[in-house]
Structure 1
Amino acid sequence: MEEFRIAAIPGDGIGTEVVTAGIEVLEAVAGRDGGFRLSFDHFDWGSDYYRRHGEMMPKDGLDRIRGHDAILFGAVGAPDVPDHVSLWGLRLAICQSFDQYANVRPVRLLPGIVGPLRGVSSDDLDWVIVRENSEGEYAGQGGRSHRGLPEEVATEVAIFTRAGVTRIMRFAFGLARSRPRKRLTVVTKSNAQRHGMVMWDEIAAEVAAEFPDVAWDKMLVDAMTARMTLHPATLDTIVATNLHADILSDLAAALAGSLGIAPTANLDPERRFPSMFEPIHGSAMDIVGKGIANPVATFWSAALMLDHFGEAAAAARLMRAVERVTADPSCHPPDLGGTATTRMVTDAMLAAICGENV
């Protein structure tokens, strides 16, 4: 029986609450399917660790998790720790060091959830957003000089490489090919950003020639926000830069009902390093300890993890359980307009997974 080792890093805020729920559900799925085992190693890295040690994770942290099959991550961010310190000290340190260059964010209207768009069905809003996750606007290049003086200067340099753009384009076209509609939309801002974004457009056209069975089109990022809200049924698979896809995926999650249901897979498609799976919602410090965090995004992220392991049947079982739970309004937490607690949603998931027909 195959065993998968998972590094569990709850991080900050509600990360601890939803990762705990996610582990319960993953163990239930593994027990139900019986064809594989899961083991979890727990790491208390995050802002509390930073307050004690002056760093978000130990200096040998990456070596400690390098040999795992995947990482289940919660959230990062706390009011008393600068955001750039917490993000670059933990989440981005993992993503970039393990070259998790494909950030994949599926978005769809789940049963029982009503999004803000009128007359939109689950057939209309069923997307996958592919975010370039290693360079671009989040490459960490730039600097500041003349600090505190009137002539202070800060630069944030977006780095686009032919290798980086080509590999994310090939990944996105391949993902689009695997979906029923075989359609990809490439998002840039090449009218105003005439160097990096024009290169994106050119490479997209080059890679498209390798995928003649995939229909594709281009959109400027500002026009894309309008298309997502006004014509969602025209979209399927979407690829964009680190910054643009970060913003668009939050919009997409809101259109699907809540950030609390949106999952993320940070993939190293070549499988040289462990990939990382996490909810999109962040640390949500305003609801920490209230027991009302929505764990659905973590459950969906866990399904992406199982699929990454090649356990397609278990992943499908987990998603069927998610759909059964969201279809029941009594299982909706406050972010979905209900009163359910994290515990209630988790218990409903466990019951659904153990049910005969899931």
Structure 2
Amino acid sequence: MRDYSIAVIGGDGTGPEVVREAIKVVNSASSRFGFKVNWIEYDIGGERYLRTGETLPDSVLEELKKVNAILLGAIGHPDVRPGILERGILLRLRFELDQYINLRPVRLYPGVECPIRDKGPEHINYVVVRENTGDVYTGMGGVSMKGTPHEVAIQNMVYTYHQVERCVRYAFEYTRKRNRKKILALCGKTNVLTYVYDLWERVFHSVGEKDFPDIKREYYHVDALCMWMIKNPEWFDVIVTGNMFGDI
């Protein structure tokens, strides 16, 4: 029997409630499919920060590096200034553990009411591959003359070739493995973000042409994609995009 160690971070808000139900599902699956889970709970989130001033202690981070997976509920507390928990917990976990893919399936199940008219489970079944370590989330930037009429705020959108290439390659491999429509769409904004998404587009086509000729490639500006996801969700199989667009 295979054993798995899974860290549990309920976090804030509805996080603990959601995690409790998720644990029930995994425990049920473990009984059915013959594996064992060792749950390790951690007190991480807004309440701990308010008590101790700690977000993610180094000792806890080292322990998290040794587990098979982390089950995380939600992070964000009304009594903690925005950005403290997000940067101190979520972003630190992403960067320290190099969690470079955020996989977001979008699927309508039979019997579930859909707010999009005339669309059923056969129309809504695609996956968004979000790059998870670059973009405006790196913390590069700054503020000068704060609190004055001349205040300047800068938040840099930063990507390396390495970050883009490994995300794009993962998306192609996932599309091939999914083996559904075998269409990978790049979501960007090449007409405005002419440096960052030029890099994304060049890498997208280079990797696709060389290593994944069986996968059809498409491109959409992010604003147009948001419209088509509502109007014609059946067009999509897998979508790959940067950190901010994937978050939105």
2:140 alignment partner, SS class: strand
What TM-score, normalized to structure 2? Answer: 0.97
What TM-score, normalized to structure 1? Answer: 0.67
Residue in 2 aligned with 1:51?
50
Which ranges of 4 or more aligned residues in structure 1 deviate by more than 3 Å? none
Residue in 1 aligned with 2:225?
224
1:216 alignment partner, SS class: strand
Residue in 1 aligned with 2:6?
6
Aligned partners of 1:49 and 1:57 also within 8 Å: no
Residue in 2 aligned with 1:285?
none
Q: 2: distance between equivalents of 1:32 and 1:194?
A: 51
Q: Residues 99-138 of structure 1 correspond to what in structure 2 (within 5 A)? A: 99-138=98-137
Residue in 2 aligned with 1:166?
165
Unaligned runs of 5+ in 1: 248-358
Q: 2: distance between equivalents of 1:242 and 1:166?
A: 14
Aligned partners of 2:172 and 2:215 also within 8 Å: yes
1:13 CA displacement: 0.9
Considering only aligned residues, what root-mean-square deviation do their CA atoms show, in Å? Answer: 1.0
Q: 2: distance between equivalents of 1:145 and 1:163?
A: 31
Q: Residues 133-152 of structure 1 correspond to what in structure 2 (within 5 A)? A: 133-152=132-151
1:178 CA displacement: 1.4
Residue in 2 aligned with 1:154?
153
Q: 1: distance between equivalents of 2:163 and 2:9?
A: 27
Q: Percent identity?
A: 37
Q: Residues 25-40 of structure 1 correspond to what in structure 2 (within 5 A)? A: 25-33=25-33, 35-40=34-39
Q: Residues 179-218 of structure 1 correspond to what in structure 2 (within 5 A)? A: 179=178, 180-209=180-209, 210-218=211-219
Q: 2: distance between equivalents of 1:114 and 1:194?
A: 40
Matched, 1:82 2:81: yes
Aligned partners of 1:50 and 1:56 also within 8 Å: yes
Q: 1: distance between equivalents of 2:66 and 2:95?
A: 16
Q: Which stretch has the larger CA shift, 56-65 or 98-107? A: 56-65
1:177 CA displacement: 1.0
2:137 alignment partner, SS class: strand
1:88 CA displacement: 0.7
Residue in 2 aligned with 1:97?
96
Aligned partners of 2:114 and 2:120 also within 8 Å: no
Matched to 1:50, the amino acid is Y
Matched to 1:148, the amino acid is G
Aligned partners of 1:50 and 1:57 also within 8 Å: no
Report 1 or 2 for greater relative contact order, CA contacts < 8 Å, sequence distance ≥ 6: 1
Aligned length: 246
Q: 2: distance between equivalents of 1:153 and 1:60?
A: 37
Residue in 2 aligned with 1:66?
65
